[in-house]
């Protein structure tokens, strides 16, 4: 029998053994899948309205929901930044130093894997069910997925780690 510590994948998979990290990883994956679908959805909306990919500037200025989409994009950007601050703080405080680089690697792997998955899924779904329907369902799935992470008690009650060392002068 091979022990995990002795195999080549054992140390690399160590962050996935931490329950808190798995929940954080899942929330990051859901977040980035939804974020990735937004530009694709916008491109399909432009094509649906104008039937021309070169009309993006005109459509952005004339489409009646442009202001609402821009406001939502600003709010989403602010939310991502707030999430990013909490995420990085939680990662650095709760993941052991010797596993932090690997944990961030898994975070980025999940993030970048989610991008093409979201982009590839939207086109066929929009063709089959319609752009507005897919946008609505995608938005609901995104919100439910992001909020479902809060079902984990360990995520809701994640304590701040107090440090006893003084900051460098």
CA distance 124 to 135: 13
pLDDT at 8 over 60: no
Q: Are 147 and 39 in contact (CB under 8 A)?
A: no
Give the C-alpha distances (Å, rounded to integers) separating 63 from 40, 57, 130, 150: 17, 10, 18, 36
Please report the pLDDT score of residue 164 as a whole number: 59
Whether pTM > 0.85 for this model: the answer is no
Of 49 and 82, the structure prediction assigns the larger pLDDT to: 82
Q: What percent of the chain has pLDDT over 90?
A: 0
Report the range of poorest mean pLDDT among 11-15, 17-21, 26-30, 121-125.
Answer: 11-15
Q: What percent of the chain has pLDDT over 70?
A: 73
Report the range of poorest mean pLDDT among 36-40, 60-64, 83-87, 123-127.
Answer: 60-64
């Amino acid at each position: 029998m091979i022990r995990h510590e002795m195999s080549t994948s054992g140390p690399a998979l160590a962050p996935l053994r931490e329950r808190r990290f798995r929940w954080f990883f899942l929330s990051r994956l859901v977040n980035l899948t939804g974020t990735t679908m937004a530009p694709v959805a916008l491109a399909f909306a432009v094509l649906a309205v104008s039937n021309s990919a070169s009309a993006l500037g005109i459509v952005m200025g004339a489409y009646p929901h442009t202001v609402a989409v821009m406001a939502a994009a600003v709010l989403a950007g602010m939310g991502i930044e707030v999430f990013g601050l909490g995420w990085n703080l939680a990662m650095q405080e709760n993941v052991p130093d010797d596993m932090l680089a690997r944990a961030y690697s898994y975070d980025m792997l999940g993030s970048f894997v989610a991008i093409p998955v979201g982009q590839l899924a939207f086109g066929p779904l929009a063709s089959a069910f319609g752009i507005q329907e897919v946008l609505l369902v995608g938005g609901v799935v995104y919100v439910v997925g992001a909020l479902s992470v809060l079902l984990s008690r360990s995520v809701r009650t994640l304590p701040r780690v107090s440090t006893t060392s003084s900051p460098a002068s």
